C-alpha cells in the first residue's frame, strides 16, 4: 500500500508539473493524496468513477460485487506517513455504519501522523455523530466535505440509490458545523438544474475563511465522462425522462453560463474544473429568443419559468 501511495504521489507530482491539478488533487481538496480502505461502495451511485475503474479498468470486482464492499485489512493495519498536503479520506468509497470502525482506525493513524484530513462523504447522521465525537481531539486538523448534488430525495435516490437522503445530509452538515469542525459542500456532480436550492439549504452551515483553513466552500461541478461511466441499467423510460434528460440539458454550456451568472459573487461558491473549462471558453452568441433557465424548484413548480435579465451580446 505504501508503495501504491508513493506511486500515486509521484504520478500526481508529475501531473502537477504538466497542468493545473484537477479532481481530487485540486487546491482545497486532497492535495497530499487520497487514502481508501475497501473495494466497493454500498451507495452504488450510477455515475461512480471508482466503480468504473474497479470493474472495467482494473478488474478488481464485478459490477454486482461493487455494492457489497470488501475491506482490505492490510490498509487498515498498516502505518501511514505524514503526507505533503491535505489527505482526502476516502475517495473511492464512503464511510458507513458498516465500515465506520475500520475508517476510524485509519483516520486516527492519519491524524496521529500529523496530517490534515479532508473527510469526503455522503453522510448519514449516525456516522457523522460518531465521527465528530471520536475525532474531537484532532478537530482543528479535520475538515468535512459533504456531497449533496440535489435537494430532491427522488433525484438523489435515482442517482445514488444506497446513499442517505437530503435531510440526513443537511443534518450531518449542521451537526459537524455546530460541533466546531470545518465544513464545506461538494455539489459535484450536480444532479438536476436546481443546484442553487442546495446552496441555499447549506449556506448557514459552511465555515467561513479563515476558519475553513483553505478547505471550505460550496463546490459545484459537472458529471464528467457521462458516456463511459454512467450506468443506467434498470432505469425505466419514465425515469430517463424525469432524471436523465433534464440533467443532460443542465450540463450544456449555455445552462452552465447562466448558472455561473446566477451564483457568481455569492459567498462560498467555488467552481470545479469541469465548470471553469466552460466559462473560460470564448462565449457563444445568445439569441434573444433563447429560454432562460430557472434555478429554483419552487419557481419552476409554483410560478412557472421565471423571467430574469440575461446578457445578450
Ligand atoms: S459514494 Fe462515491 S464511491 Fe460510493 S458509489 Fe457513490 S460515487 Fe462511488
> How do residues 207-232 score in pLDDT, each as one tens digit?
999 888 889 999 999 999 888 899 99
Among protein residues, the one with the nearest Cα to ligand 1's atom 8 is 48
- Of 58-62, 91-95, 280-284, the least confident: 280-284
In a domain, 312, yes or no: no
Instruction: Give the global pTM.
Output: 0.86
In a domain, 271, yes or no: yes
In a domain, 309, yes or no: no
Q: Is 89:60 a contact under the CB 8 Å cutoff?
A: no
CA distances from 106 to 34, 50, 95, 132 (A): 12, 20, 12, 15
Distance 290 CA to ligand 1 centre (A): 36
pLDDT at residue number 228: 85
Higher pLDDT, 22 or 41: 41
Atom of ligand 1 nearest to the CA of 93: 3
In a domain, 158, yes or no: yes
Does residue 92 carry a pLDDT above 90? Answer: yes
Distance 282 CA to ligand 1 centre (A): 34
Q: How confident is the model at residue 30 (pLDDT cuts 50, 70, 90)?
A: confident
In a domain, 313, yes or no: no
The whole-chain average pLDDT of the chain stands at 87
- Of 14-28, 167-181, 191-205, the least confident: 14-28
Does residue 89 carry a pLDDT above 90? Answer: yes
Distance 214 CA to ligand 1 centre (A): 24
Atom of ligand 1 nearest to the CA of 92: 3
Q: What is the mean pLDDT of residues 240-251?
A: 97
Does residue 305 carry a pLDDT above 80? Answer: no
Distance 47 CA to ligand 1 centre (A): 8
- Cα(67)–Cα(231) distance, rounded to whole angstroms? 13
Which tens digits make up the pLDDT trace of 94-141? 999 999 999 999 999 999 999 999 999 999 999 999 999 999 999 999
pLDDT at residue number 79: 97
Among protein residues, the one with the nearest Cα to ligand 1's atom 6 is 45
pLDDT at residue number 45: 98
The enclosing domain of 275 has a CATH number of 3.20.20
Give the residue numbers spanning the domain of 237: 2-303
Q: How confident is the model at residue 296 (pLDDT cuts 50, 70, 90)?
A: confident
Distance 92 CA to ligand 1 centre (A): 6
Pocket mutation for ligand 1, best pick of 46, 48, 120, 164 (most atoms within 8 Å of C-beta): 48
Does residue 160 carry a pLDDT above 70? Answer: yes
Distance 287 CA to ligand 1 centre (A): 39
pLDDT at residue number 287: 58
Atom of ligand 1 nearest to the CA of 122: 1
Which tens digits make up the pLDDT trace of 46-62? 999 999 999 999 999 99
In a domain, 98, yes or no: yes
- Cell numbers for 236: 425505466
- Cell numbers for 155: 433525484
Pocket mutation for ligand 1, best pick of 30, 122, 172 (most atoms within 8 Å of C-beta): 122
pLDDT at residue number 300: 55
In a domain, 310, yes or no: no
Tally of structural domains, the chain: 1
Ligand 1 site residues (CB inside 6 A) read 41, 43-45, 48, 50-51, 92-94, 122, 160
Pocket mutation for ligand 1, best pick of 91, 160, 224 (most atoms within 8 Å of C-beta): 160
% of the chain residues with pLDDT over 70: 83
Distance 41 CA to ligand 1 centre (A): 6
Among protein residues, the one with the nearest Cα to ligand 1's atom 3 is 93
Among protein residues, the one with the nearest Cα to ligand 1's atom 7 is 48
Amino acid at each position: 500500500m505504501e508503495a501504491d501511495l508513493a506511486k500515486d504521489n509521484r504520478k500526481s507530482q508529475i501531473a502537477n508539473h504538466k497542468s493545473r491539478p484537477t479532481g481530487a488533487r485540486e487546491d482545497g481538496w486532497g492535495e497530499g493524496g487520497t487514502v481508501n480502505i475497501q473495494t466497493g461502495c454500498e451507495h452504488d451511485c450510477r455515475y461512480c468513477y471508482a466503480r468504473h475503474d474497479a470493474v472495467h479498468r482494473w478488474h478488481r470486482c464485478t459490477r454486482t460485487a461493487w455494492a457489497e464492499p470488501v475491506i482490505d485489512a492490510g490498509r487498515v493495519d498498516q502505518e501511514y506517513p505524514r503526507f505533503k498536503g491535505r489527505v482526502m479520506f476516502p475517495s473511492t468509497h464512503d464511510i458507513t455504519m458498516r465500515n465506520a470502525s475500520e475508517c476510524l482506525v485509519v483516520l486516527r493513524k492519519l491524524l496521529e501522523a500529523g496530517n490534515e484530513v479532508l473527510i469526503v462523504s455522503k453522510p448519514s447522521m449516525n456516522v457523522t455523530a460518531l465521527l465528530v465525537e471520536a475525532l474531537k481531539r484532532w478537530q482543528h486538523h479535520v475538515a468535512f466535505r459533504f456531497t449533496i448534488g440535489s435537494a430532491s430525495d427522488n433525484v438523489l435516490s435515482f442517482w445514488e440509490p444506497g446513499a442517505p437522503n437530503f435531510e440526513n445530509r443537511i443534518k450531518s452538515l449542521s451537526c459537524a458545523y455546530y460541533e466546531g469542525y470545518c465544513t464545506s459542500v461538494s455539489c459535484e456532480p450536480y444532479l438536476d438544474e436546481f443546484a442553487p436550492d442546495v446552496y441555499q439549504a447549506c449556506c448557514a452551515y459552511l465555515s467561513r475563511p479563515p476558519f475553513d483553513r483553505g478547505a471550505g466552500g460550496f463546490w459545484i461541478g459537472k458529471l464528467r465522462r457521462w458516456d463511459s461511466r454512467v450506468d443506467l441499467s434498470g432505469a425505466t423510460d419514465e425515469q430517463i425522462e424525469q432524471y436523465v434528460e433534464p440533467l443532460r440539458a443542465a450540463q450544456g454550456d449555455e445552462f452552465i453560463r447562466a448558472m455561473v451568472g446566477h451564483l457568481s459573487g455569492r459567498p462560498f461558491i467555488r467552481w470545479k474544473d469541469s465548470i471553469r473549462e466552460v466559462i473560460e471558453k470564448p462565449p457563444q452568441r445568445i439569441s434573444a429568443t433563447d429560454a432562460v433557465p430557472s434555478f429554483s424548484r419552487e419557481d419552476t413548480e409554483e410560478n412557472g419559468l421565471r423571467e430574469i435579465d440575461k446578457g445578450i451580446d
